[in-house]
A and B are shown apart, each in its own frame.
Chain A
Amino acid sequence: MFFLRSNYGHPEFRRGALDSMSAAPGLAAWGLMTGVAMMKSGMSTLEALLMSVIVFAGSSQLAAMPLLAAGAPMWVVLATGFCVNLRFVVFSAHLRPYVMHLPLLQRLATGYLTTDLSYVLFTSRYPNHGGDAGQLRAQQAYLMGNCGVNWVGWVGSSVLGVALANFIPAEWGLGFAGILALLGILFSLASSRLRLVSAGVAGAAAVAAFALPFKLNILVAIAAAVALCLTLEKS
């Protein structure tokens, strides 16, 4: 975890923190507007603060808000959160070899902290998992530096949004900065023709399949892009 000495004492920790800082202003604006949205949806201050601090998943928070406001049963809210988060199940399959050397509790905490942004930056810096203990330590340190900045930025900005909810109208659209941050990261990943194809196919599929419930369009888009790229790779 980012508070373990083996991580924050490692030079890769700093590198991971710096890499996520370039996107941090965008994600902070997004966190801010998520905090505002929670208060506007009718949650109490305590509920909104608790959600900011412990749920740590913007898309499932946004999906849960209207359900909570409508008094939906617990299983409906949790099942919706699970479906909206399904892409992380795919990411966890990818990240498994990088974390299996850790004890269970640390693996769970690592997973918990690894958002879209950290997953993307981490796999871009380390396309292959480490072969020896030193490499695995460096990778974990990088990931935790990255996640640490994200966690502090997300929680801090959401709490600020909860506090300033009456002063920041949602109509300003400040949350769009979060989309621009992810767009910049996407550009920096577009290092090969097939990756560009992957992005184009996934973007188009996510728009075309938008009507699917539970944000399943994202999962469908990833599957379509990966399948097409594998086919093109062979030919």
Chain B
Amino acid sequence: MTPDNDPWTIVIIMGLAGVTVLTRSFFFISSKAWTLPRWAQRGLQYAPIAALAAVIAPEMVMTQGHFISTWHDARLFAVAAGALWFFWRKGAGQAVLGTIVVGMAVYLPLHLALGW
């Protein structure tokens, strides 16, 4: 039932693992002493939240590379419910877990039953 193993594909997959190491350790490789300029160090404190927003925003408001054109999208309601939960329960612990659970509890019925 499953396709045959292709040796060349396996080589490429190993190469991709190498790419993961190379990109994630890119500036760890050389041990020559250097430091980032001050402005870059300050700027990097805004990078983590920017990276998260950049990764998730298209997944929330786009379909097949286009901005969604309807409110009938389960993701919007899931994000809204998750956000409400998070800011209501903020500081109570496990707010992230609650965001996932509440979001999916809204997402799945809308998506599966109504096809949104």
Contact = CB atoms under 8 A, between A and B. Distances in A.
Interface of A: 22-23, 25-26, 29, 39, 42-47, 50-51, 54-57, 59-61, 64, 68, 74, 77-78, 81-82, 85-97, 99-100, 104, 107-108, 110-114, 116, 119-120, 123-124, 127, 172-173, 176-177, 179-190, 194-195, 198-207, 210-211, 217-218, 221-222, 225-227, 229-230, 233
Given A44-B2, A189-B48, A226-B47, A55 B28 contact: no
A181 B100 contact: yes
A54 B12 contact: no
The dominant DSSP class at the B interface is: helix
A50 B34 CA distance: 37
A202 B13 contact: no
Contact of B50 (A29, A97, A185, A222): A222
Q: Which 4 A-B pairs have the closest CB atoms?
A: A111-B25, A203-B57, A184-B96, A184-B99
A187 B28 contact: no
Given A87-B51, A88-B24, A44 B100 contact: no
A187 B23 contact: no
A156 to B, nearest CB: 17
A23 B53 contact: no
A226 B43 contact: yes
B53 A210 contact: no
A172 B104 CA distance: 11
B31 A100 contact: yes
B62 A180 contact: no
Contacts of B60: 179, 183
